[in-house]
């Protein structure tokens, strides 16, 4: 057989088989079309067609594969060809309660999708649906409604869900959703199973449920979400939230006007994506009158690497044009931060402009423990400090009136529980008016601890020429304070820190014109109670003025409190240290038992200062006494006592000892040296013990001097031994010249009172009383004795010898070497009632007066030659001389003797009238003898 015949035999059976298969397919198609037509005709005629059991079983089987189950009341085909399910409940095998329930669900699924084996429907409509959180996902531990009043239409394709419209409510938020959602995939690339999607949804739902209580403070919130596919897979969500305002969200005292939030979020099921939100809020109001016209914020919500949590970190940046708070306008405030929800921590930074100055704040915080650490840097404007203290600390405001911005850098600690933990800040400021204390610049490091102890250490204050270093501490609760300062400081310049006038009243006795003294002070007190203020300090001053007296240097320690001040150890010096004094004194303005305006001074001072300095320091009484004393060397003085000043009247009591250390003059009377023990009480000076050296002799005495309003009164007693006669006479001449400054002083060449009296010693006792400036006011008496001088050579007695020679009685030079007398001082005259001048050759007995003002003599005398030596020749001569009476008259510089006949001197006090001067005998007639030239 040939090849073609074999080929035909093979094709014939194949054609037959193909024809049979084709015929079978055509009949099956016609039967299917017929059945479909019949079903369509039935559905079109019938209004309630039950869903075939195999369809329901198919739906249940598909859901069972995903671990879901469905229950519903009724299931119908409606005339549109959709499946109508009533009272639907969808459960997950992992949860007892239903996840989804709906009053009506319309499901459309084409026969082709059924034949294709797709488990999900083509379209779903539902109304009155509720999405619930099972108890294990609910914050309350019970099943809660997450979405309610849900209605919408969803079209399902292979990997996308197209939502035409979905509306629901989440808490009090109205939500609308539209767009296309791409079915998320796993990391391995397969689409997420419905069960996996449901679990992720429930995890996000838990986060939303936890935030729902805070959303209750949002007024009429509305949320719209638009979805679109991502080119990389997954879905992009655009979120828009609007509300009429916020009212104390999370119990924070904040309210706002209308707010709007827009944001973007991507979800692909592979990894968490960041959500970014833009917020605009109008008319934000906070506590204490804080108001912001408009707030702009950018919020970044970062989910964790663990995708089971919705949000891990929140990034925030807030801006505004102005913030009105505490009476200030804060310009361009900004706040940026990152908050970790999982760790409960945050870090942030903020900045603001105030009065043209910028402040920057950075820090980190623990939200769980409510603790934080904040860094502060910038410049604080003066107006801000004044405003803050006026509102928050009005008692402190007068002490911190800055004239320049204050640079600050430091950190603030908020302890666990939100309690203040401490503040450390470095400040540097310029001009500052601190309650009247004018500070040029100030800097220091400030620490404030949790007990509100404020400590400014390493501080420096510059106030003009004053420069001080140290520390300042205070407690804001008790208002106790303490300042420790060292440097160059005029204490009166910080008087504004002390209430009342006690501080300036004390320092008015000190002045520092040259430069501020070196000082180290400790000031303590209480800002509420000025009576608790105390000051303790040391001062070393160059060219100060202390108690009105200038010094080259002064050093002291001072303790002071209101109405009391104690200069503990005062040391002053002048003349390069040659003059110095030291001691202490107190000022007591609150004297027990006296009125408040009485001031008492107690003091104990010793030194060798110039008397004029003592006079300035001790006041008017001592100054009056010392004004009439002049010293060759500064005296050594130790004084202690007390003075009370009452409305300008001074009552004082002082005890002192003084040593002149050399020559001095008191009321013009020269004294070689004097040591005095005395006291002053009121206007009375009592010299209880006086040791002095006068004209080479030694004397003792005592005196009382009164400065009564009627004039000065001096009462004294003195005794002098072994004084040099010549020096004594010259001293009396100086004393007379001091009281008569206009009178010409006799020179040695012009005086004829002394020719030669070298070696004469004078002993004098004297007691008197009167007014020191007026010698005529003194009344008293005493005795005098002169020995050792050749009195005959004194020209006064030489003139007597010449006068006797004129009457032919020439005894040559008189040999006289001793003179004794008593005397009374009355009305400026020295009255000598019983003067006796004697020697080996003669005795002169005399009485008379010496007028101090005119220096004139008026004496009568009787000469008895040889009487003292019991010479037999005297027995013959005395009867002859007894008939003569000697007259001494004229000024002390030019006296004259006259020899007249007389009855001799009468006993003192006999009361007999003075004898008249008889006519002189012509031969021999004595002529008055006066000194000639050169005598």
Task: Indicate the pTM of the whole model.
Answer: 0.59
| Alpha helices, DSSP H, located in 299-443 | 382-392
pLDDT value, residue 915: 36
Are 898 and 886 contacting, i.e. CB atoms less than 8 angstroms apart? yes
- Above 50 in pLDDT, residue 529? yes
- Above 50 in pLDDT, residue 765? yes
The average pLDDT across 849-864 equals 82
Helix (H) or strand (E) run with residue 104 in it: strand 98-108
pLDDT digit string (tens) for 584-615?
888 887 655 555 567 788 889 888 888 788 77
- Above 90 in pLDDT, residue 833? yes
Are 548 and 561 contacting, i.e. CB atoms less than 8 angstroms apart? no
pLDDT value, residue 905: 46
Residue with tokens 């999370």: 250
Among 386-395, 626-635, 796-805, the least confident range: 796-805
- Above 70 in pLDDT, residue 59? no
Query: Which residues, in sequence order, are CB contacts of 466 under 8 Å at separation 6+?
Result: 487, 488, 489, 490, 493, 516
**Structure tokens, 764:** 């004098």
pLDDT digit string (tens) for 531-561?
888 889 888 989 988 878 899 998 889 898 8
pLDDT band at 58 (very low <50, low <70, confident <90, very high): low
pLDDT digit string (tens) for 98-116?
788 888 888 777 656 655 5
Among 40-54, 132-146, 806-820, the least confident range: 40-54
pLDDT value, residue 290: 87
Q: Which of 258, 234, 233, 230 has the alpha carbon at shortest distance from 244? A: 258
C-alpha dihedral over 601, 602, 604, 608, to 10 degrees?
20
- Above 50 in pLDDT, residue 30? yes
pLDDT winner (highest mean) among 21-35, 64-78, 218-232: 218-232
Among 12-21, 131-140, 693-702, 889-898, the least confident range: 12-21
3-class secondary-structure state, position 84: strand
How many CB atoms are located within 10 Å of the residue 894 CB? 15
pLDDT winner (highest mean) among 41-45, 49-53, 297-301: 297-301
- Above 70 in pLDDT, residue 621? no
The average pLDDT across 337-352 equals 86
C-alpha distances (whole Å) from 298 to each of 237, 241, 246, 655 are 17, 14, 17, 86
d(CA 810, CA 239): 154
- Above 90 in pLDDT, residue 783? yes
pLDDT value, residue 696: 86
The average pLDDT across 839-850 equals 83
Query: Which residues, in sequence order, are CB contacts of 26 under 8 Å at separation 6+?
Result: none
- Above 60 in pLDDT, residue 882? no
pLDDT value, residue 920: 39
In the sheet that 437-439 helps form, which strands lie side by side, from edge to edge? 401-402, 432-434, 437-439
pLDDT value, residue 911: 38
pLDDT value, residue 924: 40
pLDDT band at 260 (very low <50, low <70, confident <90, very high): very high
DSSP code at position 310: S
- Above 50 in pLDDT, residue 921? no
- Above 80 in pLDDT, residue 128? yes
pLDDT band at 649 (very low <50, low <70, confident <90, very high): confident
- Above 70 in pLDDT, residue 881? no
pLDDT value, residue 913: 37
pLDDT value, residue 700: 93
pLDDT value, residue 918: 38
- Above 50 in pLDDT, residue 480? yes
Query: Which residues, in sequence order, are CB contacts of 471 under 8 Å at separation 6+?
Result: 444, 455, 456, 457, 458, 459, 483, 484
pLDDT value, residue 307: 52
Share of the chain above pLDDT 90, in %: 11
pLDDT value, residue 708: 67
**Strands 222-229, 173-182: parallel, antiparallel or unpaired by DSSP?**
parallel
- Above 50 in pLDDT, residue 329? yes
DSSP code at position 185: B
pLDDT value, residue 485: 85
Return mean pLDDT, the chain.
Answer: 77
- Above 50 in pLDDT, residue 156? yes
The average pLDDT across 700-712 equals 78
**Structure tokens, 252:** 């924070």
d(CA 118, CA 108): 13
The average pLDDT across 824-830 equals 88
pLDDT digit string (tens) for 267-278?
776 666 788 889
pLDDT digit string (tens) for 487-496?
888 888 878 8
pLDDT value, residue 318: 92
The average pLDDT across 345-365 equals 90
Identify which has the larger pLDDT, 914 or 903. Answer: 903
Among 302-306, 422-426, 800-804, 863-867, the least confident range: 800-804
Share of the chain above pLDDT 70, in %: 75
- Above 60 in pLDDT, residue 415? yes
d(CA 861, CA 832): 11
The average pLDDT across 560-570 equals 85
The average pLDDT across 154-181 equals 84
Taking only Cα atoms into account, the Rg of the chain, rounded to an integer number of angstroms, comes to 63
Are 388 and 381 contacting, i.e. CB atoms less than 8 angstroms apart? no
């Amino acid at each position: 057989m040939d090849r073609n015949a074999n080929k035909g035999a093979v094709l014939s059976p194949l054609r037959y088989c193909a024809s049979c298969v084709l015929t079978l397919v055509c009949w099956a198609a016609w039967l299917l079309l017929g059945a479909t037509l019949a079903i369509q005709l039935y559905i079109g005629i019938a209004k309630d067609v039950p869903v075939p059991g195999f369809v329901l079983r198919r739906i249940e089987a598909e859901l069972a594969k995903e671990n879901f189950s469905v229950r519903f009341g009724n299931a119908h085909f409606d005339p549109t060809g959709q499946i109508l399910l009533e009272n639907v409940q969808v459960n997950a095998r992992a949860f007892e309660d239903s996840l989804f329930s709906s009053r009506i669900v319309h499901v459309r699924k084409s026969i082709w999708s059924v034949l294709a084996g797709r488990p999900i429907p083509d379209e779903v409509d539902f109304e009155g649906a509720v999405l619930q959180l099972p108890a294990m996902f609910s914050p309350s531990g019970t099943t809660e409604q997450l979405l309610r009043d849900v209605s919408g239409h969803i079209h399902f394709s292979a990997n996308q869900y197209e939502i035409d419209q979905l509306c629901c409510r989440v808490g009090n938020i109205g939500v609308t959703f539209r767009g296309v959602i791409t079915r998320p995939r796993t990391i391995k690339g397969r689409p997420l199973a419905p069960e996996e999607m449901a679990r992720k949804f429930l995890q996000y739902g838990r986060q939303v449920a936890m935030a729902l209580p805070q959303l209750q403070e949002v007024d009429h919130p509305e949320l719209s979400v638009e979805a679109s596919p991502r080119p990389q897979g997954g879905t992009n969500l655009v979120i828009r939230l609007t509300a009429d305002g916020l009212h104390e969200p999370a119990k924070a005292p904040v309210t706002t006007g209308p707010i709007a939030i827009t944001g973007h979020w991507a979800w692909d099921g592979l990894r968490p994506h960041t959500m970014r939100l833009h917020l605009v809020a109008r008319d934000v109001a906070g506590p204490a009158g804080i108001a912001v016209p408009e707030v702009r914020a950018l919020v970044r919500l970062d989910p964790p690497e663990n995708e089971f949590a919705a949000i891990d970190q929140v990034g925030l940046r807030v801006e505004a044009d102005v913030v009105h708070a505490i009476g200030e306008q804060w310009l361009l405030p900004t706040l940026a931060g990152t908050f970790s929800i999982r760790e409960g921590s945050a870090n942030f930074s903020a900045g603001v402009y105030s009065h043209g100055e910028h402040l920057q704040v950075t820090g980190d915080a623990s939200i769980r423990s409510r603790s934080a650490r904040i860094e502060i840097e910038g410049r604080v404007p003066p107006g801000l400090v004044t405003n803050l203290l006026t509102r928050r600390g009005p008692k402190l405001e007068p002490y911190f009136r800055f004239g320049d911005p204050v640079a600050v850098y430091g950190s603030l600690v908020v302890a666990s529980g939100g309690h203040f933990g401490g503040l450390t800040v470095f400040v540097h400021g310029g001009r500052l008016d601190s309650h009247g204390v004018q500070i040029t610049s100030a800097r220091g490091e400030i620490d404030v601890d949790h007990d509100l102890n404020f400590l400014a250490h390493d501080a420096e204050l510059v106030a003009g020429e004053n420069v001080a270093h140290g520390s300042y501490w205070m407690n804001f609760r008790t208002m106790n304070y303490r300042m420790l300062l060292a440097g160059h400081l005029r204490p009166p310049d910080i008087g504004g820190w002390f209430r009342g006038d006690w501080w300036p009243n004390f320092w008015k006795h000190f002045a520092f014109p040259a430069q501020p003294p070196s000082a180290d002070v400790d000031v303590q007190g209480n800002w509420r109670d000025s009576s608790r203020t105390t000051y303790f300090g040391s001062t070393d001053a160059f060219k100060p003025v202390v108690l009105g007296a200038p010094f080259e240097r002064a050093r002291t320690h001072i303790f002071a409190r209101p109405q009391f001040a104690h200069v503990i150890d005062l040391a002053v010096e002048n003349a390069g240290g040659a003059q110095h004094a030291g001691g202490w004194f107190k000022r007591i303005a609150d004297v027990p038992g006296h009125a408040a305006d009485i001031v008492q001074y107690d003091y104990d001072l010793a030194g060798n200062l110039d008397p004029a300095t003592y006079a300035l320091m001790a006041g008017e009484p001592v100054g009056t006494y010392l004004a009439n004393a002049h010293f060759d060397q500064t005296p050594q003085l130790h004084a202690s006592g007390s003075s009370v000043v009452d409305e300008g009247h001074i009552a004082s009591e002082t005890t002192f000892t003084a040593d002149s250390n050399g020559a001095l003059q008191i009321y013009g009377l020269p004294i070689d040296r004097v040591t005095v023990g005395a006291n002053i009480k009121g206007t009375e000076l009592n010299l209880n013990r006086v040791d002095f050296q006068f004209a080479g002799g030694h004397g003792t005495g005592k005196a009382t001097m009164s400065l009564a309003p009627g004039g000065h009164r001096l009462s004294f007693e003195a005794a002098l031994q072994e004084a040099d006669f010549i020096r004594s006479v010259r001293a009396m001449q100086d004393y007379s010249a001091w009281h008569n400054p206009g009178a010409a002083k006799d020179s040695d060449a012009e005086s004829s009172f002394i020719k030669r009296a070298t070696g004469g010693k004078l002993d004098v006792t004297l007691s008197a009383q009167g007014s020191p400036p007026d010698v005529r006011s003194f009344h008293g008496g005493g005795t005098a004795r002169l020995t050792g001088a050749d009195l005959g050579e004194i020209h006064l007695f030489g003139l007597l010898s010449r006068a006797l020679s004129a009457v032919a009685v020439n005894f040559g030079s008189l040999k006289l070497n001793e003179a004794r007398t008593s005397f009374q001082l009355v009305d400026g005259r020295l009255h000598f009632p019983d003067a006796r001048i004697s020697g080996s050759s003669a005795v002169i007995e005399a009485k008379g007066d010496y007028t101090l003002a005119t220096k004139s003599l008026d004496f009568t005398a009787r000469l008895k030659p040889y009487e003292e030596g019991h010479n037999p020749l005297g027995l013959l001569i005395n009867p002859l001389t007894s008939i003569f009476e000697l007259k001494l008259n004229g000024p002390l510089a030019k006296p004259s003797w006259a020899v007249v006949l007389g009855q001799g001197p009468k006993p003192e006090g006999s009361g007999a009238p003075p004898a008249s001067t008889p006519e002189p005998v012509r031969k021999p007639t004595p002529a008055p003898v006066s000194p000639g030239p050169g005598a």
